């Protein structure tokens, strides 16, 4: 009886895996429509995201980089929707017809842009104007999904404003779709772009939430809104059914197991034949199977759901610990370290940050002979991920760098008066007011606010800062490193 022999990896194998990891696209951002939609080979479906795609979930909440536009674009394309249906067979995604009600700054044939919104909703609009626009987008989307001659939004707004005419149309569509066994899903993405001032954003957001609630009257006409947490959690929203929508909302979150599953799926399906062969060789050496896209989508691969197997692979790729010698374990395990240091104040880690760390780690230093990554490379990856994350936040919150800059050099954790003092000395609040007005963006505080405490609450609300149990303020490493704050025993900040 022959013994099973396991292949032994050499330096060329680890180098091939390292190159494939470095070649993973660094910009994993997507748009709902257009040239940057999700590609079929990029579809990875964590089990926890099934609830977000369920038709019974009208509101999906997620911070930047968690996958709102990714899933919008997946649902909006027949091929990627079929892949999602394979991953989530109970949701009936393969039977949907999908159209978009709003797509932010990206418009085009299939989208509805903020330019259309601004042209049809007056600058100082009231709730009725806003609701008429959102109802019109539903009518237009249904028309596109059913192959009708497209109607101009401008022509549909008066129809939408007449509630009797609007409801008669929707009821007719509902009866038709029930008879034909069809379901139309209308998706709203990039909703953070609806306005650049607080009053308008609140009017538009509240009106859309009211419309979404009213659409519960229909079974074959469904809405799905992808929202940022700060948008739906705005305390100034007064819609009476808002607490129910908040309670029923699903938050897009990624566990450490999901993130490693995503990384290993990228390696297993890489287009680079030498890397795919080397990764398969590594798995066979550990008596672990390689998998194709279908098995990965269905969650039938151990490296998608088994933390123990994932950790074993990471140990082979990067070594067991972040330190060397007899006390190396005190620096933490290479499997745990990235997740621990990439979390925001809500302990959430995004795929962008995680893959960014791994990509940067695979490009740092000389390729070792017996592994693909090194602890120093992983620490370098954190610095890169931190810089990238703050840059990305700056696109979403143009005020973020001006708020963080005065804090450089502070030693964390720190009493709040030191933070507030730094902002006062830099005149941060006054300068932000002026800059937001001059550059037409949403400031971190509403018109009724505007103080150092409001700045902290804004940072706390987006997961950039937190208050510890002893009342001192702290900042996760993901932001601290790029913001150049100090912390004893932690990764040094960017220079």
How high is the mean pLDDT of the chain? 92
| Distance from C-alpha of 75 to C-alpha of 423, rounded to nearest angstrom | 44
- Among 271, 291, 293, CA closest to 280: 291
At 70-101, the pLDDT tens digits run: 999 999 999 999 999 999 999 999 999 999 99
Q: Could you give the maximum distance between any two Cα atoms of the chain, in Å?
A: 82
Secondary structure tally for the chain: helices H, strands E: 24, 9
List the beta bridge partners of residue 99.
Answer: 186
Q: How many angstroms separate the first and last alpha carbons of the chain? A: 61
| Distance from C-alpha of 48 to C-alpha of 90, rounded to nearest angstrom | 14
pTM: 0.91
The pLDDT confidence band at residue 27, using thresholds 50, 70 and 90, is: low
The lowest-confidence range among 29-33, 40-44, 407-411 is 29-33
- Among 201, 181, 179, 176, CA closest to 191: 201
Alpha-helix runs per DSSP H in 249-326: 256-268, 273-285, 293-298, 302-305, 307-318
At 340-382, the pLDDT tens digits run: 999 999 999 999 999 999 999 999 988 889 999 999 999 999 9
- Range 112-116 average pLDDT: 92
pLDDT exceeds cutoff 80 at 329:
no
Report the Cα 165 to chain-centroid distance in Å: 38
- Return the residue matching tokens 């990384």: 263
Instruction: Quote the percentage of the chain above a pLDDT of 70.
Output: 97
Element (H, E) at 101: strand 96-102
Residue 120: count other Cβ atoms within 10 Å of its Cβ: 18
Q: Is the peptide bond before 413 cis (omega within 30 degrees of 0)?
A: yes
| Distance from C-alpha of 400 to C-alpha of 274, rounded to nearest angstrom | 42
The pLDDT confidence band at residue 6, using thresholds 50, 70 and 90, is: low
Residue 115: count other Cβ atoms within 10 Å of its Cβ: 10
At 156-165, the pLDDT tens digits run: 999 999 999 9
Where residue 298 falls (left for φ over 0; alpha for ψ -120 to 50; beta otherwise) is: alpha
| Distance from C-alpha of 354 to C-alpha of 335, rounded to nearest angstrom | 12
In sequence order, what are the residues at sequence separation of 6 or more whose Cβ sits closer than 8 angstroms to the Cβ of residue 308? none
The lowest-confidence range among 194-198, 304-308, 412-416 is 194-198
* Structure-token pair, residue 377: 């490379």
| Distance from C-alpha of 74 to C-alpha of 93, rounded to nearest angstrom | 11
pLDDT exceeds cutoff 80 at 150:
no
- Range 95-112 average pLDDT: 88
Confidence (pLDDT) at 448: 65
Confidence (pLDDT) at 148: 76
pLDDT exceeds cutoff 70 at 393:
yes
Confidence (pLDDT) at 1: 40
Instruction: Quote the percentage of the chain above a pLDDT of 90.
Output: 77
Alpha-helix runs per DSSP H in 92-225: 114-120, 127-145, 153-161, 163-180, 198-214
- Torsion sign, CA atoms 75, 77, 78, 82: negative
The lowest-confidence range among 173-182, 216-225, 319-328, 387-396 is 319-328
Confidence (pLDDT) at 287: 94
Confidence (pLDDT) at 222: 97
pLDDT exceeds cutoff 80 at 245:
yes
Confidence (pLDDT) at 5: 54
Confidence (pLDDT) at 3: 47
pLDDT exceeds cutoff 60 at 2:
no
- Range 168-178 average pLDDT: 95
At 401-440, the pLDDT tens digits run: 999 999 999 999 999 999 999 999 999 999 999 999 899 8
Radius of gyration of the chain (CA): 25
Long-range contacts (CB closer than 8 Å, 24 or more residues apart) made by 343-346: 343/476, 343/478, 344/63, 344/462, 344/463, 344/464, 344/476, 344/478, 344/479, 345/460, 345/463, 345/464, 345/465, 345/466, 345/475, 345/476, 346/463
In sequence order, what are the residues at sequence separation of 6 or more whose Cβ sits closer than 8 angstroms to the Cβ of residue 232? 59, 61, 205, 209, 242, 245, 246, 249
> According to CATH, where is 3.40.50 located in the chain?
47-251
pLDDT exceeds cutoff 80 at 306:
yes
- Range 39-49 average pLDDT: 92
- Range 27-43 average pLDDT: 81
Q: Based on the number of CB atoms within 10 Å of its own CB, is 122 exposed (0-12), middle (13-18) or buried (19 or more)?
A: exposed
| CATH architecture of the domain with residue range 47-251 | 3-Layer(aba) Sandwich (3.40)
- Return the residue matching tokens 């259309």: 116
Confidence (pLDDT) at 37: 86
| Distance from C-alpha of 171 to C-alpha of 177, rounded to nearest angstrom | 10
Confidence (pLDDT) at 63: 87
**Residue 347 contacts residue 364 (beta carbons within 8 Å):** no
* Structure-token pair, residue 54: 């369920």
Cα dihedral 173/177/183/186 (nearest 10): -10
The lowest-confidence range among 96-100, 184-188, 322-326, 436-440 is 322-326
Q: What are phi and psi of 491, to 5 degrees?
A: -55, 130
The pLDDT confidence band at residue 447, using thresholds 50, 70 and 90, is: low
């Amino acid at each position: 009886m022959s013994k099973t022999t396991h292949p032994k990896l050499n330096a060329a194998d680890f180098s091939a895996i390292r190159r494939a990891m470095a070649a993973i696209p660094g910009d994993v951002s997507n748009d709902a429509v257009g040239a940057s939609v999700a590609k079929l080979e990029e579809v990875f479906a964590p089990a926890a995201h099934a609830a977000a795609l369920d038709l019974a979930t009208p509101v999906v909440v997620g911070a930047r980089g968690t996958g709102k536009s990714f899933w919008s674009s997946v649902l909006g394309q027949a091929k990627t929707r079929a892949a999602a249906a394979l991953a989530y067979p109970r949701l009936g995604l393969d039977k949907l017809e999908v159209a978009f009600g709003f797509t932010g700054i990206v418009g085009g044939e299939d989208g509805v842009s903020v330019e259309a919104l601004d042209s049809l909703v007056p600058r100082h609009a009231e709730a009725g104007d806003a609701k008429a626009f959102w109802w019109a987008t539903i009518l237009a989307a249904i028309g596109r999904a059913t192959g009708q001659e497209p109607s101009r939004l401008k022509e549909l707004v008066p129809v939408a404003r007449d509630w009797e005419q609007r409801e008669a149309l929707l009821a007719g569509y509902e009866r038709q779709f029930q008879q034909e066994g069809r379901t139309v899903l209308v998706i709203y993405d990039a909703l953070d772009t609806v306005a650049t001032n607080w009053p308008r954003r609140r009017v538009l957001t509240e009106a859309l939430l009211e419309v979404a609630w009213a659409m519960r009257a229909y079974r074959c006409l469904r809405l799905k809104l992808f929202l940022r947490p700060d948008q739906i959690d705005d305390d100034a929203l007064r819609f009476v059914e808002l607490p129910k929508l908040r309670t029923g909302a699903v938050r897009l979150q990624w566990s450490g197991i999901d993130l490693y599953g995503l990384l290993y799926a990228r390696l297993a399906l890489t287009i680079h034949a030498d890397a795919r062969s080397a990764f398969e060789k590594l798995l066979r050496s550990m008596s672990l199977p390689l998998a194709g896209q279908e098995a990965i989508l269905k969650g039938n691969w151990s490296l998608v759901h088994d933390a123990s197997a994932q950790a074993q692979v990471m140990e082979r790729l990067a070594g067991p610990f972040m330190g060397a010698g007899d006390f190396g374990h005190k620096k933490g395990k290479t499997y745990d370290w990235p997740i621990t240091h990439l979390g925001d104040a809500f302990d959430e880690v995004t795929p962008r940050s995680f893959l960014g760390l791994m990509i940067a780690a695979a490009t740092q230093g000389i390729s070792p002979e017996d592994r693909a990554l090194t602890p120093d490379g992983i620490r370098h990856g954190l610095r890169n991920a931190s810089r990238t994350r703050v840059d990305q936040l700056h696109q979403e919150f143009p005020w973020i760098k001006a708020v963080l800059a005065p804090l450089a050099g502070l030693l964390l954790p720190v009493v709040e008066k030191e933070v507030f003092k730094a902002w006062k000395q830099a005149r941060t609040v006054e300068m932000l007011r002026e800059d937001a007005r001059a550059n037409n963006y949403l400031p971190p505080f509403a018109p009724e606010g505007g103080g150092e405490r409001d700045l902290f609450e804004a940072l706390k609300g987006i997961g950039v800062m937190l208050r510890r149990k002893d009342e001192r303020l702290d900042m996760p490493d993901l932001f601290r490193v790029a913001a150049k704050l100090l912390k004893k025993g932690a990764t040094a900040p960017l220079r």
